[in-house]
Amino acid sequence: NAGVTQTPKFQVLKTGQSMTLQCAQDMNHNSMYWYRQDPGMGLRLIYYSASEGTTDKGEVPNGYNVSRLNKREFSLRLESAAPSQTSVYFCASSERQAVEKLFFGSGTQLSVL
Partner 1 sequence: SQQGEEDPQALSIQEGENATMNCSYKTSINNLQWYRQNSGRGLVHLILIRSNEREKHSGRLRVTLDTSKKSSSLLITASRAADTASYFCATMGWDTGNQFYFGTGTSLTVIP
Amino acid at 30: N
Q: How far is the CB of 16 from partner 1 (least distance, A)?
A: 28
Number of residues that make up the chain:
113
Identify which of 87, 83, 95, 82 has the alpha carbon closest to the alpha carbon of residue 35: 87
The verdict on 105 binding partner 1 (CB under 8 A) reads yes
How many Cβ atoms from other residues are within 10 Å of residue 55's Cβ? 17
Q: Is the dihedral of CA 25, 31, 36, 37 positive or negative?
A: negative
Q: How far is the CB of 98 from partner 1 (least distance, A)?
A: 3
Amino acid at 56: D
d(CA 72, CA 29): 8
Q: Which range in 16-24, 44-52, 63-71, 72-80 contacts partner 1 by CB under 8 A?
A: 44-52
Q: Which range in 11-19, 21-29, 71-79, 105-113 contacts partner 1 by CB under 8 A?
A: 105-113
Q: How far is the CB of 5 from partner 1 (least distance, A)?
A: 11
Interface contacts to partner 1, rule CB under 8 A: 4, 33, 35, 40-45, 48, 58-59, 90, 92, 97-99, 101-107
